[in-house]
Chains A and B, each alone.
Chain A
């Protein structure tokens, strides 16, 4: 997939990021795209506590972010006392993820940004057809609700059938 520039900040963008600097680059995208917005951060790569800490260090305030954490429970971490996070069982259950995204978007006021970190993890557990259906659903839903969306994946997966299909659904593909 080639990087193209359609708009400065596309509504729905797919970012393919190098594994070495994945988190650093995602945080920098979030800092830029999330300005003045409430951020819904779906994490399937690291537990909420780690991501939250990294974002805090980058100067992003907790009150502006709501997390959907698909990792902590599967690691057996304690998940009771987080006001701004919903914990799902694992990254395999796309139905539960779609419900959590929908409900979070409805709950938060004002302009919103959804960050999905990452499609590569979801692809480990879900087949190509299911991933295509799920991604298409999320993209269309966010578009209809006017929610800017950042989908991220590892650069190494860029040529996979799933990501090539998803590239056709988004406004722009960016390689970082």
Chain B
């Protein structure tokens, strides 16, 4: 990744969006995804909720884990990972190939990975708050949010739930990444199609098919980032032996 190897980009190579000085005093949280922070004025808005949206196989889980791991390992920002499908052991095991020792960070109480039962959203919120308090977390991942949204009787309740999560994160000064699985062919960025309106930011991961090479190219696009002069360029993304890398200076052909 990424964590220990994150390079400071040369000043003259930064895209225009990254050179712009934010007009407000919004603090930024470095993602740990090499190359991404240049596109969003230095990182995710602190205390905000960002939707990480994409089809299957686009790198969402790796992105989310890298965000948590980098924070705990390199920035002394503990993180809570709420996994609603995979077991915590699987989350930790999946990233061993990148050389990320999640188990040690869990042992050191820098990371907490839990798989709560979803019964009521209020009780889930309470669980999240308790976990954040327990380790003083500054980062949160919920993967996938669609499972929570599916529990609501209608899309408006799901939207309200996310809005309340956003207020909660602001209050706790914790920056959240909420993973949204998108079905092939869908034109929305989330399960209900409303989550994207409520969150602070939307980052879209995708696979672009190239008929010339008869293969797919991984891409990243910042669809929305409040209070940020973010780049609107579709940029290539690669999964390298040590994590995800975004190439803000390259192009997708």
A98 to B252, CA, bound (A): 8
Decide if A93 touches B247 in the complex (CB within 8 Å): no
A141 to B212, CA, bound (A): 23
Decide if A99 touches B238 in the complex (CB within 8 Å): yes
Decide if A95 touches B212 in the complex (CB within 8 Å): no
Q: Which of B212, B217, B238, B251 contacts A126 (CB 8 A)?
A: B212
Decide if B10 touches A102 in the complex (CB within 8 Å): no
**Interface presence of B187 (CB below 8 A):** no
Decide if B213 touches A92 in the complex (CB within 8 Å): yes
Write out, one digit per residue, whether chain B residues 39-69 have a CB within 8 A of any chain A CB (1) or not (0): 0000000000000000000000000000000
Residues of B near A56 (CB, < 8 A) are none
**Interface presence of B210 (CB below 8 A):** yes
Write out, one digit per residue, whether chain A residues 74-110 have a CB within 8 A of any chain B CB (1) or not (0): 0000000000000001101111101100110010000
Residue of B nearest to A94 (CB): B253
Q: Which of A127, A137, A145 contacts B212 (CB 8 A)?
A: A127
**Interface presence of B215 (CB below 8 A):** yes
A92 to B214, CA, bound (A): 9
A145 to B217, CA, bound (A): 25
A93 to B252, CA, bound (A): 10
> If A95-B252, A95-B253, A130-B253 touch, does A102 touch B212 (CB 8 Å cutoff)?
no
**How many of chain A's residues touch chain B, expressed as a range?**
20 to 34
> 8 Å CB contacts to A: which residues of B172-230?
210, 212-215, 217
> If A99-B238, A106-B10, A127-B212 touch, does A93 touch B250 (CB 8 Å cutoff)?
no
Q: Determine how close the nearest CB of chain B comes to the CB of A32; give it in whole angstroms.
A: 29
Decide if A92 touches B212 in the complex (CB within 8 Å): yes
A90 to B212, CA, bound (A): 11
Residues of B near A99 (CB, < 8 A) are 236, 238, 247, 250
A162 to B141, CA, bound (A): 47
Can you list 24 A-B contacts (CB < 8 A)?
A89-B215, A92-B212, A93-B210, A94-B212, A94-B253, A95-B210, A95-B250, A98-B236, A98-B250, A98-B251, A98-B253, A99-B236, A99-B247, A99-B250, A102-B249, A103-B247, A106-B10, A125-B212, A125-B213, A126-B212, A126-B253, A127-B212, A130-B253, A134-B253
- Chain B residues within 8 Å of A, Cβ to Cβ: 10, 13, 210, 212-215, 217, 236, 238, 247, 249-253
